[in-house]
Amino acid sequence: MNKNRLRKDGLKLGDISSSPKRALMKAMGYDDEQMKRPLIGVVNSFNEIVPGHIHLKTIAAAVKEGILMAGGTPMEFNTIGVCDGLAMGHEGMKYSLPSRELIADTTECMVRAHALDALVFIPNCDKVVPGMLMAAARLNIPSIFISGGPMLSIDGTDLNTVFEGVGAFHAGSMSEKELYQLEENACPGCGSCSGMFTANSMNCLSEVLGMALPGNGTVPAVYAKRIRMAKLAGRKIMEVLEKDIRPSDILNEKSLRNALTVDMALGCSTNSVLHLFALANELGVDIDLNTINEVSEVTPNLCKLAPAGCHHMQDLERAGGVYAVMNVLHEKGLIDGSAISVLGMTFDEILPSFPNRDESVIRPMDNPYSKSGGLAALFGNLAPNGAVVKRSAVKESMLNFVGRARVFDSEEEAVAAIYGGKIEGGDVVVIRYEGPAGGPGMREMLSPTSAIAGMKLDDQVALITDGRFSGATRGAAIGHISPEAQSSGPIAYVMENDKIEIDIPNNKLELLISDEELENRKKEIHIREQREVTGFMKRYVKHVSSADKGAVLE
């Protein structure tokens, strides 16, 4: 490796003109030998607020050891991270999805400003993973991802169990003491929440995209193997730099399609659609919600991890991990094996070494949970530009459903009605003005969906929204309705007691009124004024796209 090679800013740290830069680095204790070596940015999302990030100092320390072993100079800096669980159910959730854009933007600023040679990204929870992927695509310098890993599940419990426990308590089927016991045991330690929720979905898909080492999404946070992986990531980035493998060599249309394919097989969070579309936007790759159904039609659902089933991330790791799922799909020609990873190899070369070790966790192709994938995009007069549902988490009885609209203009109003016993079997809870602009920020609706499930109504009640859902959501929960109410989408004109038809097998979502009636309502019903916002959110509202385009800033 040329240790004194030209950096992107056209200056060498060995030039006389770089003396001021060297002086500033020496002020931090860097010596001449360190400055001759490649400067490797360690992008750490550590904080003391998010349980998935509380241990990332340890991960970063291991990464830096690996970089030092391989002859690089690590330079760590931090970015923000929001805990969706802590932000859930109040104004804080409005900041979760928008934080993705800030993570990408601030990382870009730090890396471009300081002319770093390569990057090791350390994300874990929900919006940090896609935000960092967007930054990697935008910066296009050698990069690798090593997440903090998932939380363990003990006795099959997880954070979603607690959310649903609150619903059970309100329904009178769980005591306060029993709920407290759930609270005590559901989250036993650090890591991203233990089901196939958004964080774990995106950490798994980072493997499929080729940006992370095998095990990135599945090795539990508390396993020593996670520390060894972090050291390996530090060493490996030096190889990636030496070979000049850049995100543009890895991230492209075929890697995104591979990610969508594995998404369907795993039954990932509906949020993965938003984030893959946002990444596609950075890459200039054209995909839309129709692509979801095209991939789903030919990809079976092979895994049912919580909330769709009883397995958790530790079970998927034991069964062989994400690469084992890819191998099963690859053997049937559903994975483009010519795509490459940061290992410097194609998936054709990599995947045969990862057999399926437990067919009760990763079902074989001839015995899937369903012949189609875990997600579906729905279209109709209620969602002309589409909506998204986690099909694998919907009970069979709810795949085809006609119900009575119960209309709410905020999440809070809907939750109060559900806990107040005002929602009953046969209802479709409609929550609007919670989209990217209308919310603003497109809040997750885990509180109302968990209330419905906890009160044992998830086989009788559906929920539709222009907001979005936690990966922990289960039931007939349909989100991302586009256009949103704030943009005069049809959901703004739904009235109490309207009939709504949900036909998931045929990808349909219909408001059962005539076209003439809908047009008349558009003339008579006024769109609610935009909620007043300040600061960053004021800029966000002005530039955010619709959900079907990934809720990116345009």
- Contact residues for 416 (Cβ-Cβ < 8 A; gap 6+): none
The secondary structure of 232-244 as a DSSP string is HHHHHHHHHHHTT
Instruction: Evaluate the omega torsion of the peptide bond into residue 440 and state whether it is cis, within 30 degrees of 0.
Output: yes
Q: Which of 360, 369, 396 is nearest to 267 (CA)?
A: 369
Q: Which of 411, 400, 426 is nearest to 501 (CA)?
A: 400
Q: Are 382 and 491 in contact (CB under 8 A)?
A: yes
Among this protein's residues, is 360 annotated catalytic? no
Strand partners, 370: 301
Tell the burial category of 153 from Cβ atoms under 10 Å away from its Cβ (0-12, 13-18, 19+). buried
Angstrom distance (rounded) from CA 226 to CA 313:
14
Tell the burial category of 32 from Cβ atoms under 10 Å away from its Cβ (0-12, 13-18, 19+). exposed
Angstrom distance (rounded) from CA 192 to CA 173:
29
Angstrom distance (rounded) from CA 83 to CA 53:
9
Angstrom distance (rounded) from CA 96 to CA 105:
15
Q: Are 74 and 40 in contact (CB under 8 A)?
A: yes
- HSE, side-chain direction, 13 A CA sphere, residue 208: 35
- Contact residues for 388 (Cβ-Cβ < 8 A; gap 6+): 270, 273, 289, 292, 375, 376, 377, 378, 478, 479, 480
Strand partners, 419: none
Residue holding tokens 């789903």?
Answer: 296
Q: Are 229 and 58 in contact (CB under 8 A)?
A: no
Angstrom distance (rounded) from CA 411 to CA 232:
44
C-alpha of 164 from chain center: 21
SS3 content of the chain, % helix, strand, coil (to 5): 45, 15, 40
Q: Are 129 and 147 in contact (CB under 8 A)?
A: yes
Catalytic residue (one of 96, 341, 470, 482): 470
Tell the burial category of 172 from Cβ atoms under 10 Å away from its Cβ (0-12, 13-18, 19+). exposed
Angstrom distance (rounded) from CA 4 to CA 12:
7
Q: Are 58 and 23 in contact (CB under 8 A)?
A: no
Annotated catalytic residues are 470
